[in-house]
Amino acid sequence: MSSIITCEHVVKRYDGVVAVDDLSFSVEEGEIFGLIGPNGAGKTTTIRMMMDIIKPDSGEVTVFGEKLGETTKNKLGYMPEERGLYKKLRVLESITYLASLKGMDRRLVPEKADKLLGRTGMLATRGKKIEEMSKGMGQIIQFITTIIHDPMLIILDEPFSGLDPVNTELLKDMCFDLKNRGRAVILSTHQMNQVEELCDRILMVNKGRAVLYGDLSEIKSGYQSNSVLLDYLGELGEVPGVSEKRARKDHIELVLDGKTTPGEVLAYLVKHDINVNRFEVATPSLNEIFLMEVGKHRE
């Protein structure tokens, strides 16, 4: 895999306030990359620098090793968080105009647009004006305008907000399709469950700086909590090394005392003929990690 976009030591200040502080990361071909962080963390500024909408004060952003410019813009697709299209234009006119600004031949647009509109079940809207459509439908059209020119990197800012479950699934499927075709998708969102479900790697930023960066499962494994999840049959009684038992809906959580390992607990259970249905070392959710990391930096 090779890097599609690389940010190296990127810094951006507004009125003396540092919005992005020495940020370095890269996004590879064929991956879905989560860009997460609390409000005001510098995500939008980072995205705008990647899109060449604003210039970094220092550091460098490159696409396929090339400095950002008019040609690199055509390789990128961007769907901003707050969405809108020309209300008076018809769907096909909107798609054609925005696709042509991304360097796509206008004559090729209708066929491709029909394909994408057909896939999203919106072919009937191609002649409609944007103002005649619902917000969710407009959002799908905007997604189509983002990917129609077949960009190598697609940046989606909160793509699922305002979408119904059916369209959310549709969008997820299309993201996986893009990934499978070797495209990179950057997902900027606050919905941690979506990140866990979709992303291969993440970058968590807080106050303009990278807090976490890398493979999602590796990051999560680094946050193993000091407890195990247990579902069993029989009488458990006192378990040595367990400082607390927390009852959950269909299992209990055993909080270890810090000196005992999960293996020692399992050995004890087997030795005492406890019928174990499930034994799992607890790992925190991305949401918990997010809260933990952001909270740490607030202190």
Partner 1 sequence: MNKTLLIFRHEFLHTIKRIGFVVMTLVVPVIALLAIGIYQLVTTVTEPSAVEVTTIGYVDELGGFDGYTTQGAIEFARYDTRDEATQALTSGDISEYFVIPHDYILTGLVNRYTLEKQLETPPSMVAAIKNFLTSNLLSDRVSRDTAIRIEAPLYVVVTRLTETGDIASDQGGYGNAIVPGIFAFLLAFSLNFSASYFVQGLGEEKENRLIEVLLSSVSPRQLLIGKILGLGAAGMVQVAVWLISLPLILGLASATIGGFFSTIELPPNFVVLGIIYFILGYLLFAVLSAGVGAISTGVREGQQLALVYTLFAFVPLWFSSLLFVFPSSPIWKVLTIFPITAPIAMMLKLGVTDIPAWELAASIIILALSIIVLLFLSIKIFRVYLLMYGKRPGLGEIIRNLRNA
Residue from 87, 115, 248, 278 binding partner 1 (CB under 8 A): 87
Instruction: Indicate whether 85 belongs to the interface with partner 1 (CB under 8 A).
Output: yes
> Does residue 111 touch partner 1 according to CB under 8 A?
no
156 binds partner 1 (CB under 8 A): no
**Strand segments (E) across 158-271:** 184-188, 201-206, 209-215, 227-233, 242-247, 252-256
Cα 140-171-217 angle, rounded to 5 deg: 145
Residue 84 or 234: the one with the smaller Cβ distance to partner 1 is 84
Question: At closest approach, how far in Å is the CB of 4 from partner 1?
Answer: 15
232 contacts partner 1 (rule: CB under 8 A): no
Where in 245-274 is the site for partner 1 (CB under 8 A)? none
Residue from 9, 71, 101, 164 binding partner 1 (CB under 8 A): 101
What one-letter code names the amino acid at 210? A
Binding flag, residue 72, partner 1 (CB under 8 A): no
Minimum CB–partner distance for residue 28 and partner 1 (Å) = 21
Q: What is the DSSP string of 49-92?
A: HHTTSS--SEEEEEETTEESSHHHHTTEEEE-SS----TTSBHH
Which of the stretches 50-58, 249-257, 270-278, 291-299 binds partner 1 when contact is defined by CB under 8 A? 50-58
Q: Work out which of 22, 52, 196, 288 binds partner 1, going by CB under 8 A.
A: 52
How many angstroms separate the Cα of 104 from the Cα of each of 71, 92, 109?
12, 14, 7
Distance CA 82, CA 164 (A): 17
Task: Evaluate the CA torsion angle 13, 18, 21, 27 in order and state its sign.
Answer: negative
**DSSP category for residue 48:** H
What share of residues in the chain are helix, strand, coil (percent, to 5)? Answer: 35, 30, 35
Smallest distance from partner 1 to CB 138, Å: 10
Residue 66 is given by DSSP the state E
Site stretch for partner 1 (CB under 8 A), options 59-67, 79-87, 187-195, 221-229: 79-87
Does position 62 interact with partner 1 (CB under 8 A)? The reply is no
Q: Which is nearer to partner 1, 7 or 98 (CB)?
A: 98
The whole-angstrom separation of Cα 107 and Cα 262 is 63
In this chain, which stretch among 29-37, 95-103, 162-170, 240-248 interacts with partner 1, using CB under 8 A?
A: 95-103
Q: Which is nearer to partner 1, 4 or 216 (CB)?
A: 4
How far, rounded to the nearest angstrom, does the alpha carbon of residue 138 sit from its chain's CA centroid? Answer: 21
Site string for partner 1, 116-155 (x = CB under 8 A): -----------------------------x----------
Neighbours of 75 (CB within 10 A): 18
Rule CB under 8 A: say whether 54 interacts with partner 1.
Answer: yes
Q: Which is nearer to partner 1, 104 or 216 (CB)?
A: 104
CA torsion through residues 185, 133, 114, 94, sign: negative
* Coil/strand/helix, residue 62: strand
**Residue 139 is encoded by which pair of tokens?**
């959002």
112 binds partner 1 per the rule CB under 8 A:
no
CB atoms within 10 A of CB 192: 19
Residues that bind partner 1 (CB under 8 A): 48, 51-54, 70, 73-74, 76, 78-89, 97-98, 100-102, 106, 145
